Amino acid sequence: MSMRLSRLQKYILDVCFDRRYAKIERAIFLKYYSHFAKKAQKQDQISAITKSLERLIKNGIVIGYGEITQNKIYIEKIRLTPIGRKLIKKILGEQKKLPL
């Protein structure tokens, strides 16, 4: 998988991996922004999470549960796919290289 993941997407995958095969509510991902001193507005946080989830779903890394209307997709819960589990294991197993 040659997809580059953002920090938010890695956080989403990490949260999903911790809860194994459960369906995770999307409200949990707002906790990602609690670690920053300068926080974005609530609406910006929600739209960033939505875009990240849509990209992960599009690439087959997570499965989204919710509603699809004619104009919009409402994602309520997500779950990792086997591809996503393999990807997060690879990410968690990597170590940073020392600049020697």
Q: Is residue 100 part of a domain?
A: no
pTM of the model: 0.83
Q: Which residues have C-beta within 8 Å of that of residue 48, sequence separation ≥ 6?
A: 8, 40
| Comparison of pLDDT for 61 and 100, the residue scoring more | 61
Structurally, the chain folds into a number of domains equal to: 1
CATH number at residue 37: 1.10.10.10
Domain that holds residue 32: 7-93
**Which pLDDT value is given to residue 100?**
67
Q: Is residue 2 part of a domain?
A: no
Q: Is residue 57 part of a domain?
A: yes
Q: Examine the pLDDT at 4 and tell me if it is beyond 90.
A: no
**Which pLDDT value is given to residue 48?**
92
